[in-house]
Chain A
Amino acid sequence: MEMLKVKHINTYYGQVHALKNVSLHLNQGEIVTLIGANGAGKTTILNSLSAVTPIRSGEILFEGNPIHALSPEKIVDLGISQVPEGRQVFKPLTVEDNLELGAYLRYRRREGRARIRASLDEIYRLFPRLLERRRQLAGTLSGGEQQMLAIGRALMARPKLLLLDEPSMGLAPLVVQEIFSVIATLTRELGTTVLLVEQNAKAALKLADRGYVLETGKVIIEESAGDLLENREVQRAYLGKEKKEIWER
């Protein structure tokens, strides 16, 4: 079932045309990855979906309803949470305070302490490390732990769709593995749908069901992740298999 449908959106930063006619979709329970070089528009897609950078034209349908004219808060309320690039946890606050802030809208909805507590326990189950450090200030966590906290904080809103921006950035390979296995777990166990932006294309494609390749604001390939791993152009440009070399016509 299609959860998110994006139809030919165009997003600008001032005069700069950052997304050119981008269309994509996510099915319920899928992990879809966006790969592409720096400046290709990957993060802009996430920011367009969460209305941080509103689109100028096109359509975004979430569960069949248009959301492109809504405010970022309303979008979180509908079930889309974004984990921003560079984690951006609240460093002077404790781990648990950070997590509870993720449930801000649920507090405001008066969902009740018990249900929010249950979510918190769920996050601690997914990330036992956060439980160990629940009283610690977020600023004292390692990079990997901060990333887990950022994901945990987003999950506290109980999103149906999680937008993940470069979760592996600046992390050691072993930590990246850990983060990725948690992403796999949360789609499997919580049924969360994930749109994943990654520089680490290989790891992302191994995790994902499908992928879109972006180039200068345009989608140039839509394929299953397995096919993308085997696509020579992708291998050359994003998987570091060969040096870029263009055949002379």
Chain B
Amino acid sequence: MDIWDQTHECMPREELEQLQLERLQATLNRAYKNVTCYRRKFDEMGIIPEDIRSLDDLRRLPFTAKEDLRLNYPYGMFAVPLREVVRIHSSSGTTGKPTVVGYTRNDIKTWSQLVARLLTAAGVTHDDVVQITFGYGLFTGAFGLHYGAELIGASVIPMGGGNTEKQLMIMQDYRTTALVGTPSYALTLADRMEKQGIDPKSLTLRFGLFGGEPWSEEMRREIEQRLGIIATDNYGLSEVMGPGVAGECRGRCGMHIFEDHFLPEIIDPETCEVLPPGSVGELVLTTLTKEALPVIRYRTRDITRLIYDRCDCGRTMVRMEKTRGRSDDMLIIKGVNVFPTQIEEVLFQIEGCEPHYQLVIDRIDNVDTLEVLVEVNETIFFDEMKKQRAFVSMVEKRLASTLNVGARVKLVEPASIPRHEGKAQRVIDRRKR
């Protein structure tokens, strides 16, 4: 089994820690000097970068949250002038404003290298034909995988999202060997193949590299069986890098975090205390080499556990378990981040909607669905079906344009959504984890 960057991926822990310390100190010096937000946070806590003398001292530093990126929208968190940024991506934010992330030329190089690592770990080589079914656009998924696959010399098919018919045709005709996308889309493809009577054995598909949303071991088994492939998980988030933060090796026992570029911690999401190795908690990441957008102790909100036992593959990098969920109320629907507050805001702006709503998320035929139950007041609860339908479609349109993902709206009578003391149960997620 090949390792893309043997020198770094198999580094003795002691040497790795020295490199991490050097890079951490350099990152802190740059962030403190160039990013007002960090300087202010450090000053408030009475800390200067020189106070950080060991990796353990990291816990003395303030956290960074998605909110910080939003408050500094669009470029306030950048540590380099915009003219040195060669790429801008963004991801959806909590209040309609997206968060913006940037990459320098070197950042793009690093990104490609890291994705090349995870592709190689998953078994992909220069002989493979890689079909990318992530959407190309502002989201980081497609581009990251694309660059990594090109770097290792694979043949890349930049399909983009959707158009399942055509995906299947190309998969057959172009002899795709590696499928890249969300795990739920892999099952959509499997369903369609079944419907069309395409035998998975007739395909040349060998590997599937899936990410962008949490998925269970059960789902992995189903994908592997139905498509006849080895399915590996990989992890990343735009604010930190995009895909390429961590990836599974063929052992499929947790994703190796590329620790020479990202420093992981596990904290208790309530108390924010750092938890001892092996605990389940929220993953916090600090970038060690990012130039354009360094992040210090970024709270990913993803719940996981770190495994420090030696992996059979020879890599010394720590592994993270599949994410178990989120520590906030963010939902991932069809790979897109959705916050209930976004929906709330849209509804608030519509005349006639009551501030009571409920979101029902389900996975039907392996496609995520979002249904929004909205209470409307008497005046709006028309008797005329036509008017009611127009109202529903108007709400749906507004939601779709804010969320970037379709939602079905159902109007319900006033006071029909159960009220709870204190926090309302706004979200019903019926998807299996």
Contact = CB atoms under 8 A, between A and B. Distances in A.
B279 interface: no
A191 to B, nearest CB: 18
B105 A218 contact: no
A219 B289 CA distance: 13
Interface in B23-51: 23, 25-26, 29-30, 33, 36, 49-50
Interface string B95-127: 000000000111001000000000000000000
A114 to B, nearest CB: 38
Contacts, number: 78
Interface in A220-234: 220-223, 227, 230-233
Given A232-B80, A247-B81, A23 B22 contact: yes
Interface stretch (B13-21, B319-327, B418-426): B13-21
Contact of A227 (B52, B81, B106): B106
B109 A222 contact: no
Contact of B26 (A7, A221, A245): A221
A232 B22 contact: no
Contacts of B291: 231, 233
Given A21-B53, A247-B82, A230 B106 contact: yes
A23 B84 contact: no
B104 A220 contact: no
A23 B29 contact: no
B18 A25 contact: yes
B54 A220 contact: no
A7 B15 CA distance: 12
Nearest to A248: B81
A20 B29 CA distance: 10
Contact of A231 (B14, B15, B106): B106
A48 to B, nearest CB: 16
A247 B83 contact: yes
Contacts of A232: 80, 83-84, 104-105
Contact of A5 (B18, B36, B109): B18
Interface in A187-233: 212, 215, 218-223, 227, 230-233
A20 to B, nearest CB: 5
Given A23-B25, A247-B82, 16 more contacts: A2-B14, A7-B21, A8-B25, A8-B53, A21-B53, A23-B18, A23-B22, A25-B15, A215-B29, A218-B25, A218-B26, A223-B106, A230-B106, A231-B104, A231-B106, A232-B104
